[in-house]
């Protein structure tokens, strides 16, 4: 039974991948044109921190929420939560787009590099997936819980990301160690 | 009546595809693909003959030609990989490693299955073995499509048509063989019409995309990035680490 389900899943996965590929083939040319229209934007060179640091640190902070609560005005509190959620979502989406742009810049050049390394590419891809997952999780949590109440959940997401990061660094160290060994041996 | 219509329809489509391939000289550009079409045409005519005049042999001929067509189809997958990534040595290197990993994983899975049940090879039905082979082919195509998506590889109309048509056919085969394997006669009856009809749709996709020659978009910058990969990868790693610390700064506290 498991064999049948996995066979069906493989068939459907291939159909889905082909459909996505068909859609993307049409949009690739448009994407290239859109990117070249904004060469001076610092985000397109893959630099982060366009948003001021104090602002970023404050998005998930409960302090502003506590201050608004002291006014005992329910309308003001609702308005604050609504606006804070919008700002937080906008920030996460922007960060996610920046990460995509960095990876796109990389793949555009790496696909033509004759001396590409499979392990390095795999490691970069895993980091990219991890960061995208972080952004998606944050978006979901902001939508459901709201930024001011996110602190505790965000802390656990952070802890999880730290664990993934440690595992990733161990992987990178082991792969670079192997690469050094190979270089020495050759 | 319907099965005869589908049968003759596919033979006519295959002949049309070959004639157009010959006229537009696409035959020399995509030799493996047109070899596959020639084989399928020969297979269709042979089956038609055996079905009408040597019916007792039909089952044997059907499954043996199906096996050969899987191997000829592997050449089509290789051609998609070779032509599509010709201008991208980096992506080509990644695809080679990815396919090698995939075949190794399939080999390990096959050995593990045989070790668990040594009689499997002796007792397995033809459909089971064929389904396993088609699944490996489907996974290879899936991995290639993911790689094309990841590296934003753009295809010309001809190669895109070959990939879509063959991908649709392989996905349909995996699904059809899964239903054939369940053994429910009602499903089998339904799929025995749908499967050849599905193949006719794939033929129409090929005819539409291979009607005239359309070149693949060529990269002009390949030489520029040679020997610079380590530097590019290090820069990307640094930027992704910046992104992580940027996210951590917001939620880490």
Closest approach of chain B CAs to the CA of A161, in angstroms? 9
Closest approach of chain B CAs to the CA of A186, in angstroms? 18
Instruction: Tell which phi-psi region holds residue A67, choosing left (phi > 0), alpha (psi between -120 and 50) or beta.
Output: alpha
Residue B130: predicted pLDDT: 85
Residue A5: predicted pLDDT: 84
In a domain, A132, yes or no: yes
Residue A145 gets which letter from DSSP? T
In a domain, A77, yes or no: yes
Closest chain A CA to residue B163: A18
Instruction: Collect all residues with Cβ–Cβ distance below 8 Å to A60 and sequence separation of at least 6.
Output: A88, A147, A148, A150, A151, A154, B250, B251, B253
Residue B232 has its nearest CB partner, among A106, A125, A157, at A106
Residue A2: predicted pLDDT: 56
Q: Is A103 on the interface with B (CB under 8 A)?
A: yes
Closest approach of chain B CAs to the CA of A56, in angstroms? 5
Contacts of B139 in chain A (CB under 8 A): 10
In a domain, A99, yes or no: yes
Place of tokens 């948003």: A51
pLDDT digits (tens, 9 = 90+) for B174-193: 988 887 766 666 666 777 78
Instruction: Collect all residues with Cβ–Cβ distance below 8 Å to B44 and sequence separation of at least 6.
Output: B7, B10, B11, B14
Q: Is B152 on the interface with A (CB under 8 A)?
A: yes
What string of pLDDT tens digits covers the 186 residues of chain A?
A: 657 788 889 999 999 999 999 988 866 545 544 444 444 444 444 455 556 666 766 777 778 888 888 888 888 888 988 888 888 888 888 888 888 888 888 888 888 888 888 988 898 898 889 888 888 988 888 888 777 666 555 555 555 555 545 554 554 455 455 444 444 343
In a domain, A110, yes or no: yes
Residue contacts between A and B (CB atoms, under 8 Å): 207
CA B243 to each of CA A30, A128, A165, B70, B252: distance values in angstroms, whole numbers, following the listed order: 26, 10, 13, 46, 13
Residue A183: predicted pLDDT: 40
Q: Is A47 on the interface with B (CB under 8 A)?
A: yes
Q: Specify the number of domains making up chain A.
A: 1
Q: How would residue B167 be classed by pLDDT, with cut points 50, 70 and 90? A: very high
Closest approach of chain B CAs to the CA of A167, in angstroms? 14
- Euclidean distance between CA atoms B9 and B19, whole angstroms: 15
pLDDT digits (tens, 9 = 90+) for B45-98: 998 889 888 888 888 888 889 889 999 999 999 999 999 998 898 899 999 999
In a domain, A140, yes or no: yes
- Tell me which residue range forms the domain holding A144: 56-178
Q: Is B119 on the interface with A (CB under 8 A)?
A: no
Residue A53: predicted pLDDT: 62
Contacts of B253 in chain A (CB under 8 A): 57, 60-61, 151, 154-155, 158
Tokens, residue A21: 């590929």
Contacts of B156 in chain A (CB under 8 A): none
- Euclidean distance between CA atoms B144 and B125, whole angstroms: 29
Query: In the predicted model, what is the mean pLDDT of chain B?
Result: 85
Closest approach of chain A CAs to the CA of B184, in angstroms? 14
In a domain, A170, yes or no: yes
Whether A150 and B142 lie within 8 Å, measured CB to CB: no
């Amino acid at each position: 039974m498991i064999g049948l389900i996995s066979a069906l899943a493989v068939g459907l996965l291939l159909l889905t991948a082909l459909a996505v590929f068909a859609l993307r083939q049409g949009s690739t040319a448009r994407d290239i044109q859109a990117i070249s229209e904004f060469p001076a934007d610092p985000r397109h060179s893959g630099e982060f921190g366009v948003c001021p640091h104090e602002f970023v640190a404050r998005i998930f902070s409960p302090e502003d929420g506590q201050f608004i609560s002291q006014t005992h005005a329910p309308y003001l509190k609702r308005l604050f939560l609504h606006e804070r959620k919008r700002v937080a979502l906008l920030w996460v989406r922007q960060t996610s787009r920046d990460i995509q742009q960095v990876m796109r810049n990389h793949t555009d050049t790496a696909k033509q590099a004759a001396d590409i390394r499979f392990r390095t590419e795999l490691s970069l891809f895993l980091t990219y997936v991890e960061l995208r997952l972080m952004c998606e999780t944050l978006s979901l949590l902001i939508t459901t819980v709201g930024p001011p109440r996110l602190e505790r959940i965000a802390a656990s997401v952070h802890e999880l990301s730290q664990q993934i990061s440690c595992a990733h660094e161990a992987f990178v160290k082991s792969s670079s160690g192997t690469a050094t060994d190979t270089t020495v041996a050759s | 009546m319907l099965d005869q219509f589908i049968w003759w329809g596919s033979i006519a489509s295959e002949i049309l595809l070959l004639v157009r391939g010959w006229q537009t000289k696409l035959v020399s550009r995509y030799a493996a693909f047109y070899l596959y079409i020639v084989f399928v045409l020969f297979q269709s005519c042979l089956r038609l003959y055996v079905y009408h005049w040597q019916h007792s042999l039909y089952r044997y001929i059907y499954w043996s030609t199906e096996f050969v067509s899987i191997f000829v189809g592997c050449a089509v997958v290789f051609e998609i990989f070779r032509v599509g990534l010709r201008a991208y040595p980096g992506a080509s290197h990644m695809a080679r490693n990815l396919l090698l990993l995939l075949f190794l994983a399939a080999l390990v899975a096959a050995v593990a299955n045989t070790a668990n049940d040594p009689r499997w090879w002796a007792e397995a039905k033809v459909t089971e073995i064929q389904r396993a082979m088609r699944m490996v082919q489907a996974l290879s195509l899936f991995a290639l499509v993911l790689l094309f998506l990841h590296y934003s590889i753009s295809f010309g109309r001809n190669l895109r048509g070959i990939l879509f048509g063959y991908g649709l056919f392989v996905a349909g085969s995996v699904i059809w063989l899964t239903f054939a394997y369940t053994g429910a006669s009602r499903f089998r009856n339904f799929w025995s019409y749908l499967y050849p009809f599905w193949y006719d749709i794939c033929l129409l996709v090929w005819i539409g995309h291979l009607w005239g020659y359309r070149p693949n978009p060529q990269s002009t910058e390949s030489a520029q990035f040679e020997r610079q990969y380590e530097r590019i990868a290090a820069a990307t790693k640094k930027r992704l680490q910046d992104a992580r610390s940027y996210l951590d700064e917001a939620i880490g506290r």
